[in-house]
Amino acid sequence: MVPSAAYGATMLGSAAMNNVWVTYSIPFFSSRLSSSSFFLGQALYMVWNALNDPLIGWISDMSPGLMRRRIPAIRYGGPLWALVFSLSWLDWGDEGHKGSFLSAIHFTLALCAYDGLLTTVELNHGALLADISSSVEDRTKLNQASAIGAVIGSCSSFFGHMYWNPVPGADLHLFRRFSAVVSLISALAFTYSAHGISRHEQSLELKEKLEETSSELHHKASTRKSVAIVMKQLWNHKNLGVFECTFEKNFLSSFVDVLLVDLSRKTRSLIISTSFILPWLTTILVGPFVNKHGVYRLLQIAFTLKLMLSMVALCIGYKHQVFIGLFAVATRVLTECVCRQDKYLHIRDRSMSATVMGTNALFTKPGESLAPMLGWAILNYRSSDSKGIGQGQGQQTTLFYCLVLGPLFVASAQLLRGEYLGKVKEFINQKDLEVALSTGASVFPSYKET
């Protein structure tokens, strides 16, 4: 029996930390860094973020005993990741002066350490799918368990905003305590996950172990060819979704705090948490629709809805705060729906190795660094003071246009790319879809993939 609960526990810990990190890390450092320090740190992080994925994936795949290597990556890498998450919110010495050298070091090291450990855990967790399952039914159960774990972990985003203080220089001791609790829960989840998967490995029959060894040797022999094929596919693939998805998550708290200032803190927290929970719930519920109508239809509806909602929001303006809150949630869900377009364009007949998954990131991860850099540049250019993102004169109008024009531009570009939708319709049929879903190509991405 596959260890569904144990496999899903890793995603619970990952979601609990990552939802808080992507939402508040940029606002947290914005009041501590000068523009030059921020751009330099993001540039270094962009290089590290792109290169560490294939490197860690290659090390993992080349090590003897795939399962024996992947399980320790979760058992030890997970708690260490949780520790880095907790320590990153602390002031490393005297960081009271904005633009200090220590703040720049803090920012760069925190980003690189966090991403490196996230990569170690999530690449190995994703690659374990093929190692611990042998049938379509088993993989379906594991994917569902991951989605359920992510839904539970995403609740951290609600409580995070309850303790977050957007005012630059404000006391964040409650938020830091909350982060420590989240890191402890995540560490326990990773430990439980590694223990459960390890017990499953020990219960395998000798025949299964021999089959795993044979599969591993074949896997190593075909890795170079697989990487070359995927690199060619990704080189020709223009992924706007990764950029948009990262931008929306990094500045979501600023959007909510500035544009929805008249709503209560609890309501704003609910909006943020809902935007993280709904994509995972849709992962579970969207299966019947995709089976009946196909992925092409799903993507076409998602693009059209984003375009229509953006146009309506542009006409209404930011005065109608309830609508803007609903718009922010809807666009986040729709963006998650389409941000992994590669999985629809190039359906593959097996779960990808950690090396191939890491190579994917080599092409898509620069967008993760460019998104906050562009957002920082826009908001600081429009700001009349230096108090931080979302705090100056005219920031409300600027944030509104950032929130609305991004989805409007991306949806328009994707709909105009007729060849994209044509390729999706050509490649996706019922048989391919069953293979895609059974091998982990779910409609919505994991955190490392976005």
**How is domain 4-438 classified at the CATH fold level?**
Growth Hormone; Chain: A; (1.20.1250)
Residues with Cβ < 8 Å from 422, sequence gap 6 or more?
Answer: none
* DSSP codes, 255-322: HHHHHTTTS-HHHHHHHHHHHHHHHHHHHHHSHHHHHHH-HHHHHHHHHHHHHHHHHHHHHH-TT-HH
pLDDT at 331: 82
Q: What is the pLDDT of residue 82?
A: 96
The burial of 157, by beta-carbon neighbours within 10 Å (0-12 exposed, 13-18 middle, 19 or more buried), is given as buried
Collapse the DSSP code of 84 into the 3-class scheme (helix H, G, I; strand E, B; otherwise coil) and give the result. helix
The b-or-e profile of 349-380 (16+ CB within 10 A means b, else e) is eebbbbbbbbbbbbbbbbbbbbbbbebbebbe
How far CA 226 is from CA of 202, 259, 354, in Å, comes to 30, 46, 11
pLDDT at residue 288, rounded to an integer: 72
Rg, C-alpha atoms of the chain: 21
For the chain, domain boundaries:
4-438
Please identify which residue in the block is written with the tokens 């808080």.
Answer: 20
Beta carbons within 8 Å of 417's beta carbon, 6+ residues apart: 238
Closest CA to 343 of 402, 416, 387, 283: 283
State the DSSP H helix or E strand holding residue 51, giving kind and residue range, or none if neither: helix 35-62
- How far is it, in rounded angstroms, from Cα 62 to Cα 217? 10
Which amino acid, one-letter code, is at 286? Answer: V
DSSP state letters, 382-404: H-SSSS-TT-STTHHHHHHHHHH
Write down the pLDDT at residue 244.
65
Residue 33's nearest CA partner among 111, 126, 125 is: 111
Assessment of whether the complete model's pTM goes beyond 0.85: no
Tens of pLDDT along the chain (450 residues) come to 557 888 899 999 999 999 999 888 888 888 788 888 888 888 888 888 777 777 776 776 665 555 556 788 899 999 999 999 999 998 876 655 676 788 889 999 999 999 999 988 988 888 787 777 767 677 778 888 888 898 899 889 888 888 888 777 778 889 999 999 999 999 999 999 998 888 766 555 434 444 444 444 444 444 444 445 544 444 444 455 666 666 667 667 777 877 888 888 888 888 888 888 887 777 667 667 766 776 667 777 888 888 899 899 888 888 888 888 888 888 877 777 665 444 444 444 444 454 444 445 545 555 555 656 666 566 665 554 444 444 444 677 877 888 888 888 877 877 776 555 555 555 544 444 444 444 444 433 444 544
